[in-house]
């Protein structure tokens, strides 16, 4: 039985907000913009809390990396049922360049430190769409991974995971300790209700620095430029099939 579950939660720009590129093209405007927990991370938290309610795990720890504001995201996870939180302090330029490689190093270090036997993450974040952190964390820890999970079941000291793949559904059995990443149909997350938010204020959030975990935050990637996608051009209407073929030939398409 897995004693402790680590759940990673990421604070991202809310999905309904229109994104705007900064005038200097170095990134996206985030100041004052509405943020919320990454939807896949909500599903991950919900799964972890359900495992705890089924008494299959003893403790759920929510982790987030970022500046002071990510504490709100951790509090939401605590209100959904996590027992305690860990805030890994990353801010300024380090936060701008924080990516899956650094986060997976942090999670791997924390998993060892907290003696966690299961890590549940969202399959990807809606701001960068990387879909890398879960896989990298598993590799760094040399743990098996069950990604794109649409169902997770504990069977003794193994985990049965049904994965959503291009061809349909794949069922695998992996040993614990393991990393699982949550896909959309895994569950429907519960609401963080007000009484739970009030109770969550009493739950503990520990602050940790990446240096204390022995993690180097330098990025191997350099963002050169961020641009808006090109405006969609109007289409051209044609009258006959001959016209269509002619236009396609003109454009060098056939």
> Is position 234 an interface residue for other proteins (rule: CB under 8 A)?
no
Contacting other proteins within 108-147 (CB under 8 A): none
Closest Cα to residue 86, out of 109, 102, 56, 57? 109
Could you give the residue ranges of the DSSP H alpha helices within 34-99?
A: 39-53, 70-80, 93-96
- Whether 165 and 148 have beta carbons less than 8 Å apart is answered as yes
Q: Closest approach of Cβ 104 to other proteins, in Å?
A: 29
Judge residue 21's burial from the number of C-beta atoms within 10 Å of its C-beta, 0-12 exposed, 13-18 middle, 19 or more buried: middle
**C-alpha distance from residue 219 to each of 13, 55, 96 (Å):** 22, 39, 10
Q: Closest approach of Cβ 33 to other proteins, in Å?
A: 5
> Is position 245 an interface residue for other proteins (rule: CB under 8 A)?
no
Strand-strand pairing, 178-182 and 145-155: parallel
Figure out which of the listed residues 3, 20, 207, 226 binds other proteins, where binding follows CB under 8 A: 20
Q: Closest approach of Cβ 134 to other proteins, in Å?
A: 25
DSSP annotation of 23 reads T
The token duo for 15 is 């999905």
Q: Closest approach of Cβ 73 to other proteins, in Å?
A: 12
> Is position 240 an interface residue for other proteins (rule: CB under 8 A)?
no
Q: Closest approach of Cβ 4 to other proteins, in Å?
A: 26
Name beta bridge partners: 161: 152, 172
> Is position 17 an interface residue for other proteins (rule: CB under 8 A)?
yes
> Is position 16 an interface residue for other proteins (rule: CB under 8 A)?
yes
- Of 18 and 220, which has the nearer Cβ to other proteins? 18
Q: Residue count at the site for other proteins (CB under 8 A)? A: 21
- Of 115 and 228, which has the nearer Cβ to other proteins? 228
- DSSP states of 109-160 as a string? HHHHHHT-SEEEEES--TTT----HHHHHHHHHT--EEEEEEEEEEETTEEE
Site string for other proteins, 181-200 (x = CB under 8 A): -------xxxx-xxx-xx--
> Is position 237 an interface residue for other proteins (rule: CB under 8 A)?
no
Q: Of the ranges 11-19, 57-65, 149-157, 171-179, which one interacts with other proteins (CB under 8 A)? A: 11-19
Contacting other proteins within 24-53 (CB under 8 A): 31-34, 36
- DSSP states of 6-64 as a string? EEE--EEE-TTSPP-B-TTSSSB--TT--EEE-HHHHHHHHHHHHHHHTTS-SEEEEEE
- Of 11 and 163, which has the nearer Cβ to other proteins? 11
Residues found near other proteins in the complex (CB under 8 A): 14-18, 20, 23, 31-34, 36, 188-191, 193-195, 197-198
């Amino acid at each position: 039985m897995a004693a402790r579950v680590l759940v990673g939660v990421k604070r991202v720009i809310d999905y309904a907000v229109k994104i705007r590129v900064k005038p200097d093209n170095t990134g996206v405007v985030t100041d004052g913009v509405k943020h919320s927990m990454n939807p896949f991370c909500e599903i991950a938290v919900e799964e972890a809390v359900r495992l705890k309610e089924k008494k299959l795990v003893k403790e759920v720890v929510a982790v987030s990396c970022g500046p002071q504001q990510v504490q709100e995201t951790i509090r939401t996870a605590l209100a959904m049922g996590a027992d305690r939180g860990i805030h890994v302090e990353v801010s300024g330029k380090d936060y701008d360049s924080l990516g899956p490689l650094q986060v997976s190093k942090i999670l791997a270090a924390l998993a060892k430190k907290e003696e966690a036997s299961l890590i549940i993450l969202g399959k990807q974040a809606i701001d960068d769409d990387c879909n890398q952190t879960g896989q990298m964390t598993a590799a760094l820890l040399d743990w098996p991974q069950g990604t794109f999970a649409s169902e997770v079941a504990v069977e003794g000291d193994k985990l049965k995971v049904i994965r959503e793949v291009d061809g349909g559904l794949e069922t695998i059995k992996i040993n614990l300790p393991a990393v699982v990443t949550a896909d959309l149909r895994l569950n429907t997350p519960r609401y963080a209700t007000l009484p739970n938010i009030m109770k969550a204020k009493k739950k503990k959030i520990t602050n940790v620095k990446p240096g204390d975990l022995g993690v180097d935050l330098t990025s191997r990637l350099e963002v050169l430029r961020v641009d808006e996608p090109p405006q969609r051009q109007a289409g051209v209407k044609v009258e006959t099939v001959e016209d269509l073929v002619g236009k396609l030939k003109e454009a060098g398409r056939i």
